Amino acid sequence: MKRITAFLLCLMLVSFFAACGPGSGVQGSGTATGQAAAAATEPKENVQSGSTDGFILVEGGTFRMGSPDSEAWRSDDETQHTVTVSNFYMDPFELTQAEYGEIMGSNPSSFSGEDLPVENVSWLDAIVYCNARSEKEGLTPAYTVDGQHIAWNKEADGYRLPTEAEWEYACRAGTQTPFNTQTSISAEEANYYGHYPYQIEDNYFSQGNLDTQPGEYRETTVAVGSFAPNSFGLYDMHGNVGEWVWDYYGAYDNGDQTDPEGPASGTLRVYRGGGWNDFAKNIRSAYRAALAADKGSFNLGIRLVRSAAPGTGSVEGTAVRSTGNTAGGNVLIAYFSWGGNTQGIAEEIGRQTGADVFEITLATPYSDDYNTVLEEAQRDQNEQARPELAAHVGNMEQYDTILLGYPNWWASIPMPVASFLEEYDFSGKTIIPFCSHGGGRFGQSLTAIAKLAPDAAMGEALSVHYSGGDSLPDDISGWLAVNGISRQ
């Protein structure tokens, strides 16, 4: 019911947003925001099947994909380039648990509610759902699955995942600012870790300069359509849950492109938009997250699209590319700790496994003062610094599995962990993260690790609230069992 109500609200609000809201920002050439918004005011009559499915037409155009060098907290993989996309249809809402359960007969979500977005689904789960729903509705499935290979049939009229370019074009809705709400976004406009609005890292102790003040952190997903749509009539493009797209993760082709399909190969798949526990910097229009195709997360879901006109040919891909051994063999516990929480977790893991332990330390240590280290950590992360390490693993080749520990700093890994990951070749190894946190769980740390060690497999990660409390030994024992780690 809320999904229908929210769609009706879209019909009333979309003309207002086209006139004076997000769509009044910079327009991509060839993009008529007003026309696209007008198209969003009516459920689309599917041009291929003749059935109404509630998707809205996103009229194609040309835009600048990625972020300018001046955008705060941008990553190096967001190189700005010119892209043209063709018309396509997109669901105005993230896929709900009710919709997923109706087709699949199960619900993998961490949170429970029919109108909540489905989450904890892998890219492979999303592909299977697309095909199953297409078949149920008498459409031609967009994907063919043959063992480890998945091909996208561009001529099919069935449901599919958006390309990364389609997703960003739809999210921006004619804007070129960090968010489709312009330069910042509040917790009243999206469901994210509202205590950490955009650029809080640079203004933590003096928040008067922030465009948006800290707001509510809901600590859960919310019903789809709970916030106002962007000027294309699309809800929750920022926050609530991230959304899988078709593309492999890799560097952008910097030349002008039309309907790009992403890299031809890779080890990770991209997801976009950020979720309920992400900082604002990681729900920007240009931010790119990535995980292995067979991994899911409590803040990662699905938004469907369909082609507006048949394409030509097919795009090949590998379903799950083996990136490493199964966990086990010789195990190394490597960790970085500042306040002692991560160290305590690492020591308990060491007691239970008997594995070798290596502490990641800095040649020039961070300050012992909490306020100062906050500033040092955000500075290094903003600059993507690689601080020099004081000690090194002299025989990394002997280890098959690395249990990698760190505190969640500013929703990611501390930069000394990045230095560690870039120092060694992790090809054919398995990395199993464990993270201490004050409420943000992993943040975007798993994406950061996956990007820095793309040729390693990643095991099931463990998040521990601060030092873990009395349940820590049992929590670690269960986590080790799930990952197949036995005593050395």
pLDDT greater than 70 at residue 8: no
451 band by pLDDT with thresholds 50, 70 and 90: very high
- Whether 464 contacts 437, CB under 8 Å: yes
Q: ∠ CA(260), CA(295), CA(446), 5° rounding?
A: 85
Chain centroid, CA 185 distance in Å? 18
pLDDT at 360 over 80: yes
Phi and psi at residue 155, to the nearest 5°: -85, -10
Average pLDDT, the chain: 89
Check whether 344 has a pLDDT greater than 50.
yes
pLDDT average, residue stretch 348-364:
98
Structural domains of the chain sorted by starting position, each given as residue range(s) with its CATH number in brackets: 2-318 (3.90.1580.10), 331-482 (3.40.50.360)
Mean pLDDT confidence for 431-443: 94
- Written as one string, the DSSP assignment of 73-113 is T--GGGB-EEEEE--EEE-SSPPBHHHHHHHHS----SS--
Specify the higher pLDDT residue, 38 or 193: 193
**Taking the complete model, does pTM exceed 0.95, yes or no?**
no
Per-residue confidence band for 9, with pLDDT thresholds at 50, 70 and 90: very low
- pLDDT above 60 (res 38): no
User: What is the per-residue pLDDT across 370-429, written as a single tens digit (0 to 9) for each?
Assistant: 999 989 998 999 899 999 999 999 999 999 999 999 999 999 999 999 999 999 999 999
- pLDDT of 7 > 50? The answer is no
Listed in sequence order, the DSSP H helices in 152-257 are 164-172
pLDDT at 19 over 80: no
CB crowding 65-101: b at 16 or more within 10 Å, else e: bbbeeebebbbebbbbbbbbbeebbbbbbbbbbebbe
Q: Which of 329, 305, 324, 373 is nearest to 156 (CA)?
A: 305
Closest CA to 112 of 265, 220, 35, 15: 220
Instruction: Using DSSP bridges, classify how beta strands 269-272 and 314-318 pair: parallel, antiparallel or unpaired.
Output: unpaired
Q: Please determine, for residue 52, whether its predicted confidence score (pLDDT) is greater than 60.
A: no
Dihedral sign of CA atoms 388, 79, 448, 442 in order: positive
Label residue 238 by pLDDT band (50, 70, 90): very high
Q: Which amino acid is at 430?
A: T
Asked whether the predicted pLDDT for residue 430 surpasses 80, the reply is: yes
pLDDT of residue 323: 52
pLDDT band for position 176 (50/70/90)?
Answer: very high
Longest dimension (CA), the chain: 66
The single-letter DSSP state of residue 471 is G
Q: How confident is the model at residue 473 (pLDDT cuts 50, 70, 90)?
A: very high
**Separation between Cα atoms, residue 417 and residue 366, nearest integer Å:** 13
**pLDDT of 434 strictly over 50:** yes
Over residues 263-267, the mean pLDDT reads: 93
Q: 358, 343, 354: which is closest to 424 by C-alpha? A: 358
Q: Each residue of 191-237: pLDDT tens digit?
A: 999 999 999 998 988 888 899 999 999 999 999 999 999 999 999 99
The reported pLDDT for the residue numbered 13 is 32
Give the model's pLDDT for residue 118.
Answer: 98
Mean pLDDT along residues 176-204: 95
At 110-155, the pLDDT tens digits run 999 999 999 999 999 999 999 999 999 999 999 999 887 899 999 9
Alpha-carbon dihedral 361, 364, 368, 371, rounded to 10 degrees? -110
The reported pLDDT for the residue numbered 31 is 33
Average pLDDT over residues 238-254: 96
pLDDT at 36 over 50: no
Higher pLDDT, 275 or 378: 275
Which residues touch 198 (CB under 8 Å, ≥6 apart)?
72, 73, 178, 179, 183, 184, 185, 210, 211, 212, 280, 281, 284
Q: What is the pLDDT of residue 11?
A: 35
Q: What is the pLDDT of residue 326?
A: 62
pLDDT of residue 280: 97
pLDDT at 43 over 50: no
Q: Determine the pLDDT at residue 320.
A: 63
pLDDT at 139: 97
- Phi/psi of residue 21, nearest 5 degrees: -105, -145
Element containing residue 146 per DSSP (H, E): strand 143-146
Percentage of residues in the chain with pLDDT exceeding 70? Answer: 88
CA angle 79, 280, 453 (to 5 degrees): 55
